[in-house]
Structure 1
Amino acid sequence: MTTGPAAATRPRNRRQLIVEAAGQVFSERGYHGASMEHLAAVVGISAAALYRHFPNKYALFAECADLIVDNLIAAVDEWPPEAALRDVLLALTRVTVSHRSSGGLYRWEARYLAREDRRLLRTKFAYVVERVTEMVRREYPLPDERLRAMATLGAIGSITMHHTSIAQRRVEELLLASALGVVATDPVAAAGTAHLVELPAQPVPRTRRAEILAAAIPLFARDGFATVTNVQIAQAVGLAPSAIYRHYPGKVDILVAACLQAAGLLAQAVDRSLCRAADPRQAVVALAAAYVAYCFEHNALNSVAQAEVAGLPADLRRPLIVAQREHIAVWEQQLRTVRPELDPRQARLLVHAGFGVVVEAGRALRWQNTPGHRDAVTALVTGALTR
C-alpha cells in the first residue's frame, strides 16, 4: 500500500472542500464560464484527481447546487416545530452567511440543471419555505404567510449576491432584523403606492437592431446567454444568421445592449419616482415601489441584467457596474436619512436585502404584474429596510 507524502496529507473531507470551492467558482463565473481545469486549480489538485471524485463538470455542478439548500434543511430540522421563529431565522442566516461565496449559484445558475435536478432542488427549497411559513403563521398571523416567508428568505439570501464587507456578527444582526421586519409587515400596508411610480415603457423596437435586441432578451432570460445562439436569435426576428452581424459585432454586444437598456430604464424610474416623494420616508417607499414596478414590468430584461453581467469581459462590465453602484448609492443616501444610525456599508447591505425580497417574493407571485402584487412586495421591501 502506498503511503507517500501526498497520501499522508490528503484531507479526509476533500470531496466537501471541492464542492465548496467549486460552488464559489460557479457563482462568480457561471456554469459555462468554469472549466474542470480551472476548478481543479482553485481546489489545488490536478484535473485527473478532480475527475476521480466527479465524472464531469455537470455532476460537480449539481452537487454544488444542492449544497446550500441541504444545509438550510439541516438548519431548520435542528429545531422543533414549536421553536421560536427568531431562533430558526438566525440559524438560516448563519448557514447562508457561511456559504456566502457560493450561494449565488442557486439564484441564477440553477437554470442550467437538468429538469429532474431542478425539480428536486425546488422541492428541497419548498420544504424550507413551508417550515418557515408554519412559524410565521403562528407568530405573525397576518395575510399571505407564505409570501412573507419567501420574502424573508430572500432578505437573508441576498448576502450571497454582493461583496459588501462587514463583520460577520453585524451581518447576521442586520439580516435577522431585516428578515423579522419582513415577516412583521402586513402586505397590504403599502396599498395604493402605484401613484408614487411613473415607470418608463420599454422602447418599441423600430429598427432592425432594436428588433434583434427585443428578440434576444426573452431567449437569454429563459435559456441563459451561454446557450442561446445567433441562429436562434435570427430565427426569432426572421433573419438569416449572418444578418445579425450587420447590427451587432457579436452575441456579447447584444447582451451589453440589454444590460445598458435595463440600467437606463431603472434610472429613469428612480428619478421620476423620487420627484414625487414629499419626505425622506416617502422617498424610501417611492424607491421600493419604483424598483418593484420595474422588476415586474421588465422581468425578463432585469433577470438578464442581473444574471449575466458577471460573465462579461471586464472592459464591457465596468460601465454596467458603475451604473449599479450609482443606483445603490441613491438608495443608501435615502435610507440613511431615515435611519441615521446606519453607516454606508450597513445601509448598502440592507438595500441588497430589499432587492432579495423582490426576487423571492416575485417568484412566489410568479411575476404576475398586478397592482396588488406590486403593492404587497413594496410593503415587504419597506419592512425589510425600515423596521
Structure 2
Amino acid sequence: MTTEPTAAVRPRNRRQLIVEAAGRVFSERGYHWTSMEEIAARVGITAAALYRHFPNKYALFAECTEIMADRLVAAVDEVPPAAPLADLLAALGRVTVAYRASGGVYRWEARYLHREDRRHLRAKFAHVVGRVEEAVGREHPLPPTGPPATGQPPAASRPLSLAHLRAVAALGAIGSITMHHTSIAARRAEELLSASAARVAATDPAAAPRGAARPVEPPAQPVPRTRRAQILAAAIPLFARDGFASVTNGQIAEAVGLAPSALYRHYPGKVDILAAACLQAAGVVTQGVDRGLRDIADPYDAVVALAATHVAYCFEHTALNSVAEAEVAGLPDDLRRPVVLAQREYIAVWEQQLRLVRAELDPRQARVLVHAGFGVAVEAGRGLRWRDTQEHRDVVTALVVGALGL
C-alpha cells in the first residue's frame, strides 16, 4: 500500500517568523548589507516565498523597526501611570533583553527609514521616554534653583529638562544590551541593566563625581597632511551623515578635489576607507586611555578618568565614533578582525578597573555595565545634540559614572 506524500504545512505565524529573523539579520549586518535571500535562509524558505509576504527589503525593514517600538510602547503601557520608576525600568529591561538579538535594528539603522516612517517611530519612542521622564521627575526631582557644584547655570535655566536627559540616558543603559554579544543569563542582564538605569535616573548630573576635577582631553582631530589622510577626513562625516552604503566614491572624491578613479591610488576600495576610519577610532580611544590613566593609581579615580575620557572622545569625535559604532558590521572579516580586537582591548581596560572598585562583579557583569556606560554616553550626548561644552561633558560623565554603580 502506498501513500501520497503530505504537502508541507505553512506555519500560521510565518510572517512573524520572518520579521523576527529579519530583525536579527538587520541588527547583525545592517540594512544595506542584508539581503532578502539571507533572511529567507534564516527562516528556511525561498526568497520567492518571502516576497509573498513583503514586496521588498524596505517594507520588511520598516515593519521590523515598527514592531520593536511597539513592544516598548506596550511594555510601558502595561505599567500603571503612578507606578514606581523601578517597575517601568524592569518592564523595559525585560522586553529589551528578550529581543536583544533584533533590538539594535533601530539604534543606528533607523536613519534609513523614509521621513514619514521615521516620524512615526520617533513619536513612539517619545511616548516611552515621556513615561520614564515623568517617573524620574516625580521620584528624583532636582532643585529648580541654585548654582550646581560645578558652576553651571541653575537647572531651571538650562534648555534641556534634566529629567528628560536622565530618562534618555537611563534608556541608553538598558538599550546597550542590543549592541554587544556578551553572554549572560537573561534574568541577570535584566537586573543589572534595570539597576544601572535606576542609578542613572537618580544621578544629579550637576554633581561631578569624586576624581573628576582633573581636565581630560582626548587626542585632537588629526591634521590631514597627506592625500590619503585627506580622503579619510572627507569620508568620515559623509559616512556618519548618510551611511556608508549611501556614499559614493564620487562624493568622497569631490570633497577632496579628485577624480573618482584617483581614490584607487590611495585605497583599494571604499570599504578600505571605512576600515581605516574604524582603526582610527580605535587608535584615538587607545591614546585617550593612555593619557587619561597617566599617574592614576586609585581604581575609583581610574574609572572616573576612563568615563571622562570616553565622553570627551564622543563629543570631540562625534562623526568618527558614529561611523565606528554603526558601520563596523559591514566590514569583511579580514578587515573587521583588527578593529574588533582593538575594541575588546579597550573594553578590557574598563572591565579590569571597574572590578577593582566593584569586586562583587564577575567579568561578564562588568562588561555589561561598561557597555551600559557607553549607551548612556551616546543617548545623553544625542539628547544634548552633541553641543560640545565642558558643562555638557561633565553632565554626561556624571551619568556614565552613575550607570557603572560607583
Which bin holds the TM-score, normalised by the shorter protein? over 0.9
- Report the 3-state secondary structure (helix = DSSP H, G, I; strand = E; otherwise coil) of the residue aligned with 1:368: coil
Distance in 1 (CA, whole Å) between partners of 2:166 and 2:295 is: 28
1:353 aligns with 2:372: yes
Distance in 2 (CA, whole Å) between partners of 1:194 and 1:25 is: 44
Distance in 1 (CA, whole Å) between partners of 2:382 and 2:64 is: 22
Distance in 1 (CA, whole Å) between partners of 2:387 and 2:196 is: 25
- Report the 3-state secondary structure (helix = DSSP H, G, I; strand = E; otherwise coil) of the residue aligned with 2:360: coil
Letter in 1 for 2:51: Y
2:277 to 258, 277, 281: 258
Does the CA-based 8 Å contact 1:205-1:211 persist in structure 2? Answer: yes
- Report the Cα offset of residue 198 of structure 1: 3.0
Does the CA-based 8 Å contact 2:217-2:312 persist in structure 1? Answer: no
- Report the Cα offset of residue 242 of structure 1: 1.0
1:242-253 map, 5 Å: 242-253=261-272
> Quick one: structure 1 residues 246 and 305, their matched pair in 2 at CA, closer, same or farther if it must change by over 3 Å?
same
Letter in 1 for 2:239: F
Letter in 2 for 1:100: R
Distance in 1 (CA, whole Å) between partners of 2:317 and 2:213 is: 16
- Report the 3-state secondary structure (helix = DSSP H, G, I; strand = E; otherwise coil) of the residue aligned with 1:53: coil
Distance in 2 (CA, whole Å) between partners of 1:118 and 1:194 is: 40
2:311 corresponds in structure 1 to: 292
1:26 corresponds in structure 2 to: 26
Distance in 2 (CA, whole Å) between partners of 1:5 and 1:59 is: 33
TM-score, reference length from structure 1:
0.96
> Quick one: structure 1 residues 40 and 96, their matched pair in 2 at CA, closer, same or farther if it must change by over 3 Å?
same
2:163 corresponds in structure 1 to: 145
- Report the Cα offset of residue 208 of structure 1: 1.0
1:72 corresponds in structure 2 to: 72
Distance in 1 (CA, whole Å) between partners of 2:61 and 2:367 is: 30
Distance in 1 (CA, whole Å) between partners of 2:390 and 2:28 is: 35
Does the CA-based 8 Å contact 2:306-2:350 persist in structure 1? Answer: yes
CA RMSD after TM alignment: 1.5
1:100-119 map, 5 Å: 100-119=100-119
- Report the Cα offset of residue 87 of structure 1: 0.8
> Quick one: structure 1 residues 74 and 236, their matched pair in 2 at CA, closer, same or farther if it must change by over 3 Å?
same
Distance in 2 (CA, whole Å) between partners of 1:210 and 1:340 is: 43
Distance in 1 (CA, whole Å) between partners of 2:238 and 2:320 is: 10
2:192 to 167, 174, 177: 174
Distance in 2 (CA, whole Å) between partners of 1:243 and 1:123 is: 44
Distance in 2 (CA, whole Å) between partners of 1:69 and 1:196 is: 39
1:184-333 map, 5 Å: 184-190=202-208, 193=212, 195-333=214-352
Aligned length: 384
Distance in 1 (CA, whole Å) between partners of 2:178 and 2:61 is: 17
Letter in 2 for 1:294: Y
- Report the 3-state secondary structure (helix = DSSP H, G, I; strand = E; otherwise coil) of the residue aligned with 2:107: helix
> Quick one: structure 1 residues 54 and 251, their matched pair in 2 at CA, closer, same or farther if it must change by over 3 Å?
same
1:59 corresponds in structure 2 to: 59
1:82 corresponds in structure 2 to: 82
4+ aligned runs moved over 4 Å, structure 1: 4-7
Distance in 2 (CA, whole Å) between partners of 1:318 and 1:49 is: 35
Does the CA-based 8 Å contact 1:156-1:353 persist in structure 2? Answer: yes
- Report the 3-state secondary structure (helix = DSSP H, G, I; strand = E; otherwise coil) of the residue aligned with 1:245: helix
Does the CA-based 8 Å contact 2:315-2:386 persist in structure 1? Answer: yes
Letter in 2 for 1:76: V
Distance in 1 (CA, whole Å) between partners of 2:287 and 2:359 is: 27
Does the CA-based 8 Å contact 1:27-1:104 persist in structure 2? Answer: yes
Q: Choose 110-119 or 50-59, whichever is displaced more.
A: 110-119
2:395 corresponds in structure 1 to: 376
- Report the Cα offset of residue 11 of structure 1: 2.2
- Report the Cα offset of residue 276 of structure 1: 4.5
1:162 aligns with 2:180: yes
> Quick one: structure 1 residues 213 and 125, their matched pair in 2 at CA, closer, same or farther if it must change by over 3 Å?
same
Distance in 2 (CA, whole Å) between partners of 1:263 and 1:79 is: 41
2:357 corresponds in structure 1 to: 338
- Report the 3-state secondary structure (helix = DSSP H, G, I; strand = E; otherwise coil) of the residue aligned with 1:307: helix
Does the CA-based 8 Å contact 1:196-1:276 persist in structure 2? Answer: no
Letter in 2 for 1:158: S
- Report the 3-state secondary structure (helix = DSSP H, G, I; strand = E; otherwise coil) of the residue aligned with 1:304: helix
- Report the Cα offset of residue 49 of structure 1: 1.3
> Which structure 1 segments of 5+ residues have no match?
none
Does the CA-based 8 Å contact 1:196-1:286 persist in structure 2? Answer: no
- Report the 3-state secondary structure (helix = DSSP H, G, I; strand = E; otherwise coil) of the residue aligned with 1:105: coil
> Quick one: structure 1 residues 88 and 236, their matched pair in 2 at CA, closer, same or farther if it must change by over 3 Å?
same
* Cα deviation code 1:299-341 (max 9, x no counterpart): 0001101111111111111110000000000000000000000
Does the CA-based 8 Å contact 1:190-1:379 persist in structure 2? Answer: yes
1:13 corresponds in structure 2 to: 13
- Whichever structure has more helix as a proportion of its residues is 1
- Report the Cα offset of residue 66 of structure 1: 1.5
TM-score, reference length from structure 2:
0.92
Letter in 1 for 2:189: V
> Quick one: structure 1 residues 308 and 367, their matched pair in 2 at CA, closer, same or farther if it must change by over 3 Å?
same
Distance in 2 (CA, whole Å) between partners of 1:276 and 1:71 is: 47
- Report the Cα offset of residue 195 of structure 1: 2.7
Percent sequence identity over aligned pairs? 76
Distance in 1 (CA, whole Å) between partners of 2:54 and 2:226 is: 48
- Report the Cα offset of residue 193 of structure 1: 3.3
Does the CA-based 8 Å contact 1:194-1:371 persist in structure 2? Answer: no
> Quick one: structure 1 residues 6 and 312, their matched pair in 2 at CA, closer, same or farther if it must change by over 3 Å?
farther
Q: Choose 116-125 or 54-63, whichever is displaced more.
A: 116-125
